[in-house]
Amino acid sequence: MNRKSLLYESKVEYGGWTINHAQGCSHGCRYPCYAMMLAQRTGRAKTYEDWCAPKLVDNALSLLDAEIPRLRHRVESVHLSFTTDPFMFDAGAQAPLRPMVELTTAIIRRLNDEGIRVTTLTKGVYPDDFIEQVSSLHDQNQYGVSVVSLSEDFREWWEPGAAPIASRLASARRLADAGGRTWASIEPYPTPNVDPTSADIRPLLSALESVRKVVFGKWNYSSLVSSFPEANGHYEKAAVAVAAWSQEGGKILHIKNGTPLSEAHSADVLSAG
């Protein structure tokens, strides 16, 4: 598919300049995925199955060539992505979705060549051949992984097309070992009636030891979560644990609005550094 424009300024929390270079996402998260709901509302995806069969933006690189000269003086960094996943996984092949990874890599390189740094977030994996290139990319790029549970039972139901959790964590560690700046998004964090392992967040935090920055947020707008009688206490306990872990490990923490301790932890996780 072709688009008329690519770079836009997002108004979401910790937003900024953004590129969504595909329509749809093979991960098919059932939280639900707000990008899918928006696509369905605007007629860009008719069904869940339609959403899970992503269409890449074929003219993404030519759009970027046209937009960079016009916007360069305003754009310091670009986030990939808010309404798709830049390192999408192919669950059938149990491997990165190659066309998406190649387009993402080309976009990162094009932006970095202009001195524009990039932030990424994925529920896929960073392939080894991408990690090998990290030292030649902008040294202030920030590479994120989205992980809210260590449970594969949870992942299989709520994130059915996403990469296995251990693979995501391993690729984040390899990126960090290769000198990449890594961060983690722990959001939407479940309640124990959704995922029993969420009662204790510390094993998940231990698995994320290699990342330098963290975003933590509760699960919003779910009757399943709000019907859990101890939801407030659960999120307070988890937020306290995340804050203590971040402080001990010298990690930069942003807790999202509406989650306990958000006022005390509002770092700009996607900034340089």
Query: Which residues are near ligand SF4 by CB under 6 A?
Result: 25, 27-29, 33, 35-36, 84-85, 123
What is the C-alpha to C-alpha distance for residues 53 and 34, in angstroms, rounded to an integer?
Answer: 16
Residue 169 or 243 with smaller CB distance to ligand SF4: 169
Cβ 43 to ligand SF4, closest distance in Å? 18
Residue 131 or 163 with smaller CB distance to ligand SF4: 163
Q: Which residues contact 140 (CB under 8 A, 6 or more apart)?
A: 77, 117, 181, 272, 273
What is the C-alpha to C-alpha distance for residues 221 and 258, in angstroms, rounded to an integer?
Answer: 11
Cβ 50 to ligand SF4, closest distance in Å? 12
Cβ 273 to ligand SF4, closest distance in Å? 25
Residue 85 or 195 with smaller CB distance to ligand SF4: 85
Q: Do residues 252 and 267 make contact, with C-beta atoms less than 8 angstroms apart?
A: yes
**Which residue in 137, 159, 139 sits closest to 148, CA to CA?**
159
Cβ 40 to ligand SF4, closest distance in Å? 12
Residue 52 or 243 with smaller CB distance to ligand SF4: 52
CA distances, 106 to each of 46, 96, 117, 161 (Å): 29, 15, 13, 24
Write out the E strands in 81-168: 89-90, 95-96, 117-122, 142-146
What is the C-alpha to C-alpha distance for residues 124 and 131, in angstroms, rounded to an integer?
Answer: 14
Q: Token pair for residue 152?
A: 């594969």
Residue 27 or 234 with smaller CB distance to ligand SF4: 27
Cβ 62 to ligand SF4, closest distance in Å? 24
Residue 145 or 201 with smaller CB distance to ligand SF4: 145
Q: What's the longest Cα–Cα distance across the chain? A: 54
Cβ 212 to ligand SF4, closest distance in Å? 22
